[in-house]
Structure 1
Amino acid sequence: MSIPTYSYAGGGHGKSGKNETNVTGTFRNGQVGAGAYQKTRVQTEVDGNPSSSRTGSLSPTSTNWKPPACWYEPRFSPKELKSFIQRVEKTKFLNVGPMFADMFKSLFQTDKYDNYNMAKQGKGMFWVAVVNEKRKDEPEALSCRKPPFWVDKGETPKDPLAVSPRILAEYAYDQLPVPDTSITMSPDGKQTVNLDTWIWLNRAKFKPVSVTASLPNTNLSATTTATPVALTLEPGTKNAELHPASGECPISNDGSIGTPYSADKKNQTPPCGITYLRSTNNTGPHHLKATLTWKISWTSTNSQRDTLPDGTFGTTTDVTVQEVQAINR
């Protein structure tokens, strides 16, 4: 589902130094909708970014939870809002400046405030709805339907979607760049019927990753950390035995998952692995899926801390199994 929109660019200062305020509004039956959506000013930084350039986004294990699709955050001072509307009025683009100005005045409901609250300059901000770009096509992106509203300095809006450390932490969840779940196997390449396949992860690659989300010019900041905790194997066929039987390889005390094979382990059962029982001569390769589970926690500048639903990210490897009576690793 996409948000039906119009947009206007102008206003505040972007990285280029030019005026760069992007505003999106919604239409309902030909009329301007109740909400004004802008690009968030939340900034993110990654710590512990994996060296691999192949990264993905986590899928929450809880089906009842998603990172936020929209929220409200402080954006305009009275002077900035008044200046923004005046710039729209003066635009000559297709001679529709006055029409856009009237549209924005209606959208922002500026008639509710005497002269854009100029008497309160420096004593608060107008808060606006912003959309998570990664989730702008989800139905939840239309949840923030309030027009820009005034909040006195030092006060927090009584709205569950007002930006907060938790919302920043949940937004950071969406930005976590977890590495591709590429496994190492022994034997490497083709596998052999009834011969154990040892599987493990590169400990240097799979380590905690953190993203800090902060809102400039406020004291709001939260750091969300993803820590790998278990690898789940799905062999891609019923004709296989998993090690352990659950297919879930836990993380060891030293932070490793699975154990690299070595000659002295020849007669041992792998702590993490698979034994294929039939060849793929007549079926084509098995699709071995390896899914890594990440435990998620967060902390904030106001000492709040909590957990968020675990996340998973997996990849699939094609495995060919051959029938050989004797094999040297």
Structure 2
Amino acid sequence: MPRFDGEEPKPPKPGDDEQVPIEVVVQQAVEKLKLPKPVIRTSPDEDFVQVVRVPTWMWMQRATWEPVSESAEVDGLTVTATARPRQAVWSMGEGGSVVCKGAGTPYSKAYAPDSESPDCGYTYRTASLGEPDKKFTVSVRVTWDVEWHGGGQAGVVPGMVMAAQRQLVVDEVQAVVVR
């Protein structure tokens, strides 16, 4: 298994008879990975007000939840690293959090307006009016696991993370009964 302890393994100099340590090539392949930044989407739409006690659906654009692969080669030794998103941890700004195993389901008119997301949703309990700018900061951290193979070996580099955040206004709706 490769070491990632902050010490950069030194590649051999031309003419050295030593084979390149596989850790060097693994690290190069992993460093080449360009993991996508999550793009946060919600329903009600993130540009509109979320409502206390009404389910909020959360998801990320599908393109930000697909495997990413890169290869590196040194002196004929090729290693391919493939990153796969494992989970998304959402921090909702009022103290609550949600763990989702996938990108989430985009809301569509096929669902009832008051239905909960089948896989990634949250229901606010308080309004954001007391917060700075009267908004909650919502963030998502996507954890990626990286599997690599090459030179007859394989391994895992766990826990790479990409994150994003945005502001959401959450308000409370009061009903007025007229008789």
TM range (shorter): 0.7 to 0.9
Q: With structure 1 as the length reference, what TM-score do the two structures score?
A: 0.47
Q: Distance in 1 between matches of 2:101 and 2:174?
A: 32
| Alpha-carbon contact 1:67-1:170 (below 8 Å) kept | no
Superposition pairs for residues 33-52 of structure 1, below 5 Å? none
Structure 1 residue ranges, 4+ long, deviating more than 6 angstroms after superposition:
none
Q: Secondary structure at the match of 1:75?
A: coil
Q: Secondary structure at the match of 1:277?
A: coil
Write the letter of the residue equivalent to 1:258: G
Residue 73 of structure 2 is aligned with which of 208, 214, 219? 214
Show the counterpart of 1:264. Answer: 110
2:13 is the counterpart of 1:75: yes
| Structure 1, unpaired ranges of 5+ | 1-64, 77-124, 126-150, 157-162, 252-256
Cα deviation, residue 67, structure 1 = 6.4
2:42 is the counterpart of 1:185: yes
2:133 is the counterpart of 1:286: no
Show the counterpart of 1:233. Answer: 90
Cα deviation, residue 318, structure 1 = 0.9
Which of the pair has the greater relative contact order for Cα pairs under 8 Å at 6+ separation? 2
Show the counterpart of 2:81. Answer: 224
Cα deviation, residue 325, structure 1 = 4.5
Write the letter of the residue equivalent to 1:191: Q
Show the counterpart of 2:100. Answer: 249
Cα deviation, residue 75, structure 1 = 2.7
| Alpha-carbon contact 1:176-1:211 (below 8 Å) kept | yes
Q: Distance in 2 between matches of 1:316 and 1:307?
A: 28
Higher share of residues assigned helix:
1
Q: With structure 2 as the length reference, what TM-score do the two structures score?
A: 0.82
Percent sequence identity over matched residues? 29
Q: Distance in 1 between matches of 2:72 and 2:121?
A: 38
Larger Rg: 1
Write the letter of the residue equivalent to 2:42: M
CA RMSD of aligned residues (A): 2.1
Q: Secondary structure at the match of 2:29?
A: helix
| Structure 2, unpaired ranges of 5+ | none
| Alpha-carbon contact 2:138-2:165 (below 8 Å) kept | yes
| Alpha-carbon contact 1:293-1:311 (below 8 Å) kept | yes
